[in-house]
Structure 1
């Protein structure tokens, strides 16, 4: 099998022009989607680079609308290339007999039976095309609906045109923009968010929080459990990941090519769950009760420490039992905290001194306090904190997939930082303290959360405070139930640090080639973390004789080992992540 040559075109001059006027170029996130999947690709920052190599597939992530660019893209497709766009390449519309509609959104893309499982996937912005004078023949896929899944039609979700010996596959939806704003909020957090119309999530509490900016819909994106608990039920950002990657794999397969990608978790790990705690109250007895409960259920968890924390002997016990000591930054004004880089640094210095740790891998903000767009991630970067867990619900009525994702993901900056990627992995949480009277959701959300996470291969992250574990048997039983139901579904429990270490290790693997034995070669001399492997999609029409096959992204794939380009398997044992409970 031959690996498809894939490139992403992100026109640097077009991006610089946007940034000059304070506009975002979230199209840059297309590269991050491929990095996350572990798919090899080339990065082009000028359309002239299309002629430097023969690419089978090119994603036109961001281009200008000049005649020069239009001619180069047309020539590429005409000569047999496959051009893919997510809401762009509008300069080609007239040549194909089409015209741009007004930008549309938010709304829902309906793909019919097939992949992903969701019947309708939320989008935030689309640029549909309509037929104009002498429209070129094309194939249409899916349909856009405005405002609601059954709203006014807004055209096809994807159009496929034949151009000479090649094709243009154009999604109407600006997928990168939709994913980024679902994950990070529609805008920076500057004021309270609008409360839920049913009163279940009073966000207008005069405290700036992560969930004051959510791009999900209170009506169409929530469901209720059998006990009447409302929850956000659809990880729409993750569905878009599945759609985009699945389309790439299928497009390559249709050409008799393949696009190998790195397995999400190491060999022997099918699904990952996580439990974290926030030390609100800071009494040693709360910690000791929690340590006993975690020992009972056999789970190592992440302990986010709020100043003034516990006594030193308790920290020693936490570390002895293999739990992660993490940071719990407090910017709550009512507790004399503030949103400030110096205050973050002061509290962080307290934690390292009090807990006797030199490095801290994770942070979660107290009360999910959040301001602006990317300042928190910059705070974390400056102190070597590699993962954040702040993005989750602060109210009973917005638990679940509040930010459209359960994936560990890399957040991106606003236009003032040129939409760069932060050196931080966000691992959001689904809910806090189940069965805590009427304050939070009840245990009926556990099964839909675990099943929803499993559908998109994410992380099922549950937050339980030590103070509530100490004071409420119902909360202790809810934690026991989370662990039991997760294990029944094949989940293993990792800490935030374990998730971070593994994901960073797998993202450093660069696929180079397929060797004659069917193994996947990585870049020469590159360390391969223990347990890492690749999935190789089977080209269209190929016969599959290997028993080690699974369907991923809607495509049949064969599991293959990873080998360094020299031919020997090179392991990096210190990156090994435990696969047990």
Structure 2
């Protein structure tokens, strides 16, 4: 079991609650605690500690004993008071941002090939711990160690200087959009175009966070937020593996899929003939898409019927690009357009993408969506060649977080970030390959946008749709609508996992779900490693279709595929004497 020890309770500006979001999305079992005593009673194998402990000497000694007797302690941010067990010295300095590069000779960090942008960095220097890479400031100065690891007794202590949760939230959500953002110095991304858009809130760096591309402008090829998310999960798995704990994870996708592909279509000109051409192209590609329909005008009734009858999703393409009635930025106009499309199409509208990726403010727009039952937004993406890719650092669907003044809350709208649009016409087709590669590496969603107008008038764009879906399938992707992604993510979030030791060397994983979850994939960290030919597992209340040993992201797992039935189920992992 994973313990989450939060020391910063009462601080309304803290993003510590987002660690719960990271663990929930990863499908890991965890329990939150606000006291050391409570965490120790729960008997965690891995303990994540965030915020300055500011506890008593007795509490710090208790955490040191936890490590000495085999536990894994991961301290995020200022861990003053735990300097001894962590093997570091906290300098008292603080950096708003910097870049960390991982050590190539450690099993957790060796895949971090590029400097990762980080925020809210506590000054830290490894003393008796091993440094896993330094933090470099914007000016290029070394400002301390980014991550340090120390073996203490039978356990492991990990110190992470950047606030991982703050880093991920700041990259994904950006800064409030109140004015044009600063354009790329090389002229490849002139986002200062007088139109307020999601990308105007960008916090990644044009020069440090983009990578060159031999067929065009440099772009954001590394999902930085996902790299930090994956790094934290890998430290958890590494610690559990060293202790022989069969830590379970409910995998991101059904059937063991590595990633999911998604096509969205923006109607813009609302041409019925273009829609019919697009339907034929999608049928040839054998893919279902999410159609974002824009006010004013819309399609004929027969076109909506054709789109729905072929299994596609109808969504809103909120238009706030004009000053005329009902096409302005504002909740009343958003509400009008949402109701207009539901009336015209005859179906509930649960997905939205803003026309031209318009955005103003911070999280206000998500509140508009919440009040109308819109479950998915797709507006976080690029409009220029030089900012395509992971400009918001993620290919994973994520729930935004909002500061209410009394604390942080997770909002009920799932954001599916956009990578690029109209391959061949706006960017070279080849950009899809590094993007697909990263999406598969991080097991996220490869979201590509096309316009029916271009599919209809430009044969090369129509061919690109078919070629993209074929390449995606070669990489192991299944192509889903936004509604399907949302339905699956919310369904899997209802499953509760608990892992506890029983007897001598044995473990029991308790699986509880209020609803049936078909084709689920449960990954169980293999405590015995690869030498076991047959997984030492037994099941109760779980329908299993397949069990095998699988290597994933550098770790060995027992992969259990099957149906999680509503109610309680158990998986027993036998020990050597079991």
User: Fold match, TM over 0.5?
Assistant: yes
Of residues 321-330 and 217-226 in structure 1, the stretch that sits farther from structure 2 once superposed is 217-226
**Structure 1 gap segments, 5+ residues each:** 570-581
- TM-score, length-scaled by structure 2: 0.88
Q: Is the 8 A contact 1:389 1:428 kept in 2?
A: yes
Shift of 1:244: 0.5
Aligned to 1:258: 246
Of residues 84-93 and 201-210 in structure 1, the stretch that sits farther from structure 2 once superposed is 84-93
Q: Distance in 2 between matches of 1:267 and 1:97?
A: 43
Alignment partner of 1:346 out of 316, 332, 336: 336
Aligned to 1:9: 5
Of residues 220-229 and 487-496 in structure 1, the stretch that sits farther from structure 2 once superposed is 220-229
More strand by share: 2
1:563-578 equivalent positions in 2, closer than 5 A: 566-567=568-569
Q: Is the 8 A contact 2:381 2:417 kept in 1?
A: yes
Shift of 1:195: 0.4
1:130-279 equivalent positions in 2, closer than 5 A: 130=125, 137-147=128-138, 151-161=140-150, 167-185=156-174, 187-267=175-255, 269-279=257-267
Q: Is the 8 A contact 1:280 1:465 kept in 2?
A: yes
Alignment partner of 1:29 out of 2, 18, 42: 18
* CA distance 1:323–1:254, change in 2 (3 Å): same
1:452 aligns with 2:438: yes
SS in 1 for 2:392: coil
Aligned to 1:496: 482
SS in 1 for 2:402: coil
Aligned to 1:295: 283
Aligned residues: 544
* CA distance 1:248–1:451, change in 2 (3 Å): same
SS in 1 for 2:185: coil
Deviations 1:513-535 (A, max 9, x none): 48999995412x63331100211
Q: Distance in 1 between matches of 2:406 and 2:448?
A: 32
Aligned to 1:577: none
Q: Distance in 2 between matches of 1:550 and 1:142?
A: 30
Of residues 53-62 and 281-290 in structure 1, the stretch that sits farther from structure 2 once superposed is 53-62
Shift of 1:270: 3.5
Alignment partner of 1:487 out of 463, 469, 473: 473
SS in 2 for 1:350: helix
Shift of 1:561: 4.4
Shift of 1:287: 1.3
Shift of 1:177: 0.9
1:304 aligns with 2:292: yes
Alignment partner of 2:63 out of 76, 91, 114: 76
Aligned to 1:578: none
SS in 2 for 1:90: coil
SS in 1 for 2:199: helix
Q: Is the 8 A contact 1:8 1:41 kept in 2?
A: yes
Deviations 1:283-310 (A, max 9, x none): 2122112112111211110001111311
Q: Distance in 1 between matches of 2:72 and 2:438?
A: 33
Q: Distance in 2 between matches of 1:492 and 1:166?
A: 40
Shift of 1:471: 2.1
Q: Distance in 2 between matches of 1:74 and 1:184?
A: 38
* CA distance 1:73–1:348, change in 2 (3 Å): farther
